[in-house]
């Protein structure tokens, strides 16, 4: 397991993968799996309905979801995982942490059910935070002609102004907490089914950022099927909106204003320092690695 984790992609390698896919306009899905997804992926053999209800209560503010709908969601999530290009999985320390068996359920479900295709690459669940700390959202978004957003946070105008994005398309979903955006349509199944019909990709290779719990993984799959490139960033939308589940040391959009440019060397130092400070068992950034030669000198 340790050897497997050592082979996982760093955020810098994921950035390069996405940059290449954007240039070639190749449909792509990059998703992350946490303990909430573990409850669904393991159901009903590794986890039980009580585990699922815990996740549903967070995502939907209710656990009153018929069994038929739960099983449909489980199937859609498994399909999204299998068809993803890069999947973020829990760290070894998370899997071994006592009392947090749903993290372990993610890895056990993925392995036991063969949910990763032969071409799928692995990274870490914390990818969204690592990209933020290395300021790698800037080179992904800067001067983009289009950005699609699926989130409860109406953050589009702020991103458009900061990164000089041509057009922003926001698909709002109901938030997990009270007062998290203007959308009040129940996310599942009503909002979910509505998204299925209204989600459009304006051109091949259009980039979408997605933050919508387990449903967001499915949305990433739909975006890929429709020709787009989807990146699951979850609670980074909260950080950018300066509300909700932000957590330190993730910073909001102000970090991009405070650091209008960062060198590759400095970004890697920040990345490795974060891993050291938080005790993250993730592969460190390596300035001597072959992939580092493909990175811009600054961004």
Kindly report the three-state secondary structure assignment for every residue of 96-120. HCCCCHHHHHHHHHHHHCCCCCCCC
Do residues 287 and 265 lie in contact, with contact meaning Cβ atoms separated by under 8 Å? Answer: yes
259-285 mean pLDDT: 94
Strands 229-232 and 28-32: parallel
Cα(238)–Cα(150) distance, integer angstroms: 13
pLDDT, one tens digit per residue, over 24-57 is: 999 999 999 999 999 999 999 999 999 999 999 9
- Please give the angle made by the CA atoms of 176, 99 and 78, to the nearest 5 degrees: 55
Q: Which residues, 6 or more positions from 286, have their beta carbon under 8 angstroms from its beta carbon?
A: 10, 268, 292
Predicted confidence (pLDDT) per residue in 163-206, tens digit: 999 999 999 999 886 656 678 788 999 999 999 999 999 999 99
pLDDT band at 7 (very low <50, low <70, confident <90, very high): confident
Tokens standing for 65? 């979801």
What average pLDDT does the chain have? 93
Cα–Cα nearest to 260, from 102, 127, 142, 86: 142
| Cα dihedral 210, 213, 217, 219 in deg (nearest 10) | -60
d(CA 142, CA 298): 13
In contact, 106 and 38? CB cutoff 8 Å: yes
The phi, psi pair for 148, rounded to 5°, reads -95, 145
- Distances 264 to 59, 128, 177, 295 between C-alpha atoms, Å: 37, 18, 37, 7
Q: How large is the average pLDDT for residues 86-100? A: 90
What is the DSSP-derived secondary structure letter of residue 284? P
Fill in the DSSP letter of residue 293. G
Q: Which stretch of 88-102, 219-233, 278-292 has the lowest confidence by average pLDDT?
A: 88-102
Q: Which residues contact 29 (CB under 8 A, 6 or more apart)?
A: 80, 83, 84, 85, 86, 220, 221, 223, 224, 230
8 A C-beta contact, residue 63 and residue 53: yes
Q: Are 213 and 173 in contact (CB under 8 A)?
A: no
In the prediction, which pLDDT does 178 show? 62
- Kindly state the average pLDDT of the residues 284-289: 96
- Per domain, the residue ranges of the chain are 2-285
Other C-beta atoms closer than 10 Å to the C-beta of 153 total: 24
d(CA 243, CA 155): 12
Task: Please name the residues in contact with 179: beta carbons below 8 A apart, sequence gap of 6 or more.
Answer: none
**What pLDDT shows up at residue 38?**
97
Q: Rg of the Cα trace of the chain?
A: 18
Alpha-carbon gap, residue 200 to 280, rounded angstroms: 37
Q: What is the bridge-based pairing of β-strands 167-172 and 121-124?
A: unpaired
Confidence at residue 247, expressed as pLDDT on a 0 to 100 scale: 59
pLDDT of residue 266: 97
Tokens linked to 13: 């390698």
- Other CB atoms within a 10 A radius of the CB of residue 228 amount to 25
């Amino acid at each position: 397991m340790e050897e497997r984790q050592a082979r996982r992609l760093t955020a810098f390698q994921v950035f390069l993968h996405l940059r290449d896919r954007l240039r070639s306009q190749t449909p792509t899905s990059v998703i992350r799996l946490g303990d909430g997804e573990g409850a669904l992926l393991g159901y009903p053999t590794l986890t039980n309905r009580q585990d699922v209800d815990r996740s549903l209560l967070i995502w939907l503010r209710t656990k009153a979801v018929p069994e038929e709908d739960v099983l449909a969601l489980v199937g859609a999530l498994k399909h999204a995982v299998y068809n993803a290009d890069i999947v973020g999985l829990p760290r070894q320390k998370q899997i071994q942490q006592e009392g947090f068996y749903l993290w372990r359920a993610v890895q056990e479900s993925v392995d036991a059910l063969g949910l990763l295709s032969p071409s799928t690459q692995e990274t870490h669940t914390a990818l969204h935070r690592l990209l933020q700390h290395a300021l790698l959202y800037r080179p992904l978004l800067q001067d983009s002609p289009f950005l699609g957003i699926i989130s409860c946070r109406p953050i589009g105008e702020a991103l458009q102004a900061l990164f000089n994005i041509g057009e922003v398309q926001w698909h709002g979903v109901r938030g997990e907490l009270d007062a998290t955006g203007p959308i009040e349509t129940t996310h599942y199944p009503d909002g979910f089914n509505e998204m299925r019909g209204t989600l459009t990709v304006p051109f091949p290779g259009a980039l979408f950022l997605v933050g919508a719990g387990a449903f967001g993984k499915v949305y990433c799959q739909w975006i890929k099927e429709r020709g787009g490139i989807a990146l699951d960033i979850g609670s980074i939308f909260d950080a950018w909106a300066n509300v909700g589940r932000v957590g330190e040391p993730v910073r909001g959009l102000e970090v991009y204003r405070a650091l209008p440019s960062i060198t590759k060397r400095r970004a890697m130092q920040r990345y490795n320092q974060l891993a050291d400070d938080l005790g993250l068992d993730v592969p460190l950034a390596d300035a001597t690695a072959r992939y580092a030669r493909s990175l811009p000198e600054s961004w």
